[in-house]
Structure formats: structure tokens, C-alpha cells
Amino acid sequence: MGHRILKCISMSSYLHAPEVQPPRSDWQTIRTMFPYLTEFRGRLVAVVILLVMAKLANVMVPLALKEIVDAMSVSKALLLVPVALIVGYGALRLSSTLFGELRDAIFAKVTQRAIRRVALQVFEHLHALSLRFHLERQTGGVSRDIERGTRGISFLLTFLLFNILPTFLEIFLVAIILLNKYSPWYAAITFITLVIYVVFTVKVAGWRMNLRRTMNELDSQANTRAIDSLLNYETVKYFGNERYESERYDRQMASWETAAVRDKVSLASLNAGQSFIIGIGVTLLMLMAANDVSQGRMTVGDLVLVNVFMLQLYMPLHFLGFVYREIKNALADMEKMFRLLDENREIQDAAGAPTLAVGNAAVSFQHVSFGYDPERQILFDVSFDIPAGHTVAVVGASGAGKSTLSRLLFRFYDVTAGGIFINGQDLRHVTQQSLRAAIGIVPQDTVLFNDSIFYNIAYGRPDATRDEVIAAARSAHIHDFIGALPQGYDTVVGERGLKLSGGEKQRVAIARAILKDPAILIFDEATSALDSHSERAIQDELRAIARDRTTLIIAHRLSTVVEAEQILVMDQGRVIERGSHRELLAAQGRYAQMWALQQQEQV
């Protein structure tokens, strides 16, 4: 199960299970694949032609074998071997194989391109979904859905086109030959066996799909549990809860084991039933053929022909059962992946939305109210302006709604009342891409990619030169630290940046924001992880990069906001005080109390 644990995609940790959606029909899932195949129409036509030619060659093989057996049965065969028939027999067998291999080679590009396009579409769609979706999703479950879904695409395309359709084509051709050459009972028994086999397979496979869905769901839950535990490795160690985590994971795996055993037992039952049906059909045909040979109505070659036909049909039919089961499994796997595409984007650009005209960006919150859900309102009638090039700070206790302001400014959510404007432009009426390109942020909790320090700084502007990245690192006072590392800027920071300290990660985030060079800056507790000496050095640099930029500072430490032109004091989602540092101290209100407490703590 090691691979079940280690495969994951880089997303936020998810908190709650997703809402259960009704399952898609198999036809819906198959129909979703059609647009991905139209890119290579010529290849599809060539594949179908090769498929038909391969099956025609395959059906001709028993006919050639019959002629060889009949030719060898007469006395002349002792003197003259039917070389031409034997060569033709070999050529037909070779043609069937070569046509099949050529078909696979041509179709490979179609399959792999479809997988690539679907995976890319799901990936882009996940990034386009709202923050709310990602806070409710579970990383392990999503990664497992995508992994199984893309694997299911390859199976579905390959076996639906190369096994289901060819098998029915071969059965149709064999039935015509048997009907024309022999008693109608041969074709009738073949057809009846096929119908019973298909009905039995469809009925039992449909029942097994519920077991498969349950097994997939439990597999995703177990994977989610494992990923979540590994992402919180240090917390597990802090509390010595390795055994507790193992037991939780094992409980999930025990449920999965029960479902998997039921799945395997049902599979064995299906295989036994299919073999019984095929065995009865083959036995009846061979009894009829043996009787006709003994009565002189058929030659030994005809007996061989019927036997080989049934052997050729038995394997595809038996394989058809396996393929049908696996296609149903693949459809179940793809269903969950495509359901991700059915998730509606909560935040979308308005039709024909223009790009944001940034200029000297002035930000205005006008009577903004907001709640993450109807029962939990966070902001109440919040209004304030940040003139272009000015700095406004927001302070208050935890849970007052400070960080929600930055999320709304980035338009991760839409306000429930009021509006947010940049240079008079409502954020809901401009493109999200242009909006976010104009804003840079240094968050309190910096999460880095599991890549090099250079990559993480350059992420602020991926087309930046190495000199520009180094200059940003110098401005963030992290260049000397990076230079002291054995691998310098090529040092890999680990998953979520865990190889760096909190202060080092925060300075990487500052360098990234500096490199982006945005018109609007947000400092969300930007120096909370720094020591006092580093904080003073970084504060000077932050003031330098904030100069001539519109800046919003969200802070708990009041020492970081004393130079702001305006300070807002928030409490329970409302602005209760506003003014400069001196004005707020003179007012002897909540800000003055917070200042006095923090001054005492520093003594």
C-alpha cells in the first residue's frame, strides 16, 4: 500500500468531507470522452480499418485450417503436401497479429493525448474552483480520484474499441459462416449462448458496481487519512501519537479490506457462471458436429472448423466478460474524476469582463458585509479607503475579521453586501487574473513548493532573470543565509517548506512579493515569525518597498503599524476605531489598551 500513501498533489489540507453527489450514468461518462477523440479523426479511421482487417484475417484462419485438414485426409496427401494452403494459413495468422499491433501503435497517440487533455482540464478546473471548495476537499481523496480516473481513460479507450467491438464483429462473422455452411442450429446455439452470456455478465457486473464504488470510496478515505497524517508529521511526533494514527489508518484499511474481499468473491462467482455458460454451449456444438461427421454430413475438417471457431470465440467471450467488468470499473473510477469537472465555480468572471486598469491603485471598501455561510457572518458594514500610494493598517484580536479583508480583496470570495473597488472599478466586474496580478501578499502562514529556494522566490514572477531573483532576496535580507547553504539557491525546501524555519519561509515570501512588484501590497502578519533584530531590519525594507504603493497591513503587533497613515481597529467584524497612531492613543480607546498591554509584555 506504499504507493497509496505517497502519491498526492500539492493542495491545501482539506477539512471536511465533500457533499455526496448522485452518480453519473455510464453513458454520460463515455459521452464526456468524445470531444477528446476528435483531434485525431484520421487516426481513428485508420484504426477502425485495421481492426476490421485483423478480424477478417482471424476468421479466415479456421477456414484455411479446414481446407488443410480435408486435403491431408485423402490418400494423395501422402504424396503431395498442400504447401499453398499451409503458407496461406501462416500468412493469415501473421496478418491478424500485424494488423493488431499496427492498430495499437497508431491509436497510442490518441489515448495518451486524451489522458493528457483530461488531466490538464481537471487540474485547471481545480485551480479555478473557489477557496471554499478547497477548504472542504481532502487532498488524498482528490489525488486518488484523479489517479484512478486517468488510468480508467486508458483502459476504457483501449478495450472498448479493441475488444468489445472486435469481439462482436467476430461473433457476427462466425455466425454468418456457420449459418451458410451448416445447419441453422449451429448459428442458433452460438447466438443463444452469446445472449445468455451477455445478459448474465451485465446483470452480475451491474450488481458488482455498487461493491466497486464502496471499495473506491473507502480507498480514497484511507488515502486521505494517510496523506493528512504525513502532512502533519511533526504534530504526530509532538504528541507521540504514532500508534493512534496507525490504528485510525488501520480501521480505514479494515473497511477497505472487507469491501475488497466482497469484490473478489463476487468476481469469482461471475467467472464461474461465465465458464459454465460457455462450457454448455461448446459441448452442445461439439456433440452436434461429431454426430454430423459420423453421419457423413460433415468432414473431419468441418469438425475442426467448428471446434476452432468455438475456441476462437471462447477466449474473446471469456475475455469480453473480463473487459466488461474492467470497463465498468474504469467508468466508476472516471465518474468521480469527471464529477470534479461538474463542480461549479463559485467565483467567475462576468461576461466580457475587462482587465483591471491599475494605474495608481486606490482601494475602497464600501459598506462590506460578508459571511462564509449564512449562519456565520464575519464582517458587518465595513467601510474604509486606501488612497493611492498610502498605507492603511488593520489591527484587532484574533477572529476579528482582519485576514478576511485580504481574501475578499483577492476575490477568493464575493462580498454578500456592499462592494470593493480599485480606482472605482468593482472587483466583480474585472477579470480575476488581472486583479490578482496587481496585488502582492506576504501571508502569515507561508507555504512553499517542494522545490528549490530559487524556484520559490521566482514564483512571484516566473520570467524574472536570476539577477532579479537575487536582488529580491537581498532586499528581503535572506541572500546571505541562502549563500551559506551548501547548495545555495538550488537548496530544496521540502514539502510545504518544512526544511526552513518560520522566519526563513517568511523572508522567502517577502522576496517573492518584492519580485512580483505589484501596485497593491498586503502584509498579513508579515513579520510574525521573525525575531526582534530581523523584524527591525525587515520593517525598514518593507517600508521601502511599500513607498509609493497602496498598502494594507494586517497586524497583531502594534509596533509594526505605528507609521501607517490610518489604523483601523476591528472587533467582531466591525471597525470600532480609526485614526493615526497618535490619534488612537489620545482617544484612550481599545487601541490604547492594546498598546499598553503590548508595551508591558516587552518590558
Give the residue extent of every domain in the chain. Answer: 15-342, 350-438+520-541+548-603, 445-517
End-to-end CA distance of the chain: give it in Å, rounded: 55
Distance of CA 345 to the CA centre of its chain: 16
pLDDT in tens, 241-290: 888 888 888 888 888 888 888 888 888 888 888 888 888 888 888 888 88
Q: What is the pLDDT of residue 534?
A: 66
Q: What is the pLDDT of residue 20?
A: 43
Q: Which residue has the cell 498526492?
A: 8
Say if 15-342 and 350-438+520-541+548-603 have the same CATH topology: no
Q: What is the pLDDT of residue 264?
A: 84
- Residue (of 216, 229, 218, 215) closest to 252 by Cα position: 218
Q: What is the pLDDT of residue 7?
A: 35
Q: Strand pairing of 550-555 and 566-571?
A: unpaired
Q: What is the pLDDT of residue 16?
A: 36
- Residue (of 498, 362, 525, 358) closest to 441 by Cα position: 525
CATH class of the 445-517 domain in this structure:
alpha beta
d(CA 82, CA 527): 91
Task: Give residue 227's identity as a one-letter amino acid code.
Answer: I
Q: What is the pLDDT of residue 419?
A: 94
* Cell numbers placing 144: 486518488
Q: What is the pLDDT of residue 529?
A: 58
**Predicted TM-score (pTM) of this structure:** 0.62
* Cell numbers placing 64: 484455411
Long-range contacts of 557-561 (CB under 8 A, 24+ apart): 557/527, 557/528, 557/598, 558/395, 558/591, 558/594, 558/595, 558/598, 559/598, 560/393, 560/523, 560/526, 560/527, 560/535, 561/393, 561/395
Q: What is the pLDDT of residue 545?
A: 77
CATH 3.40.50.300 assigned to domain 350-438+520-541+548-603? The reply is yes
* Cell numbers placing 258: 472487507
The residues, ordered by sequence, that sit 6+ positions from 108 with a Cβ below 8 Å of its Cβ are: none
* Candidates 1.20.1560.10, 1.25.40.10, 2.40.30.170, 2.60.40.1180; CATH matching 15-342: 1.20.1560.10
Q: What is the pLDDT of residue 81?
A: 57
Q: What is the pLDDT of residue 344?
A: 66
Q: Report residues of the chain scoring pLDDT below 70.
A: 1-26, 28-29, 32, 73-81, 130-141, 144, 234, 314, 316-322, 325, 342-344, 527-535, 537-538, 601-603
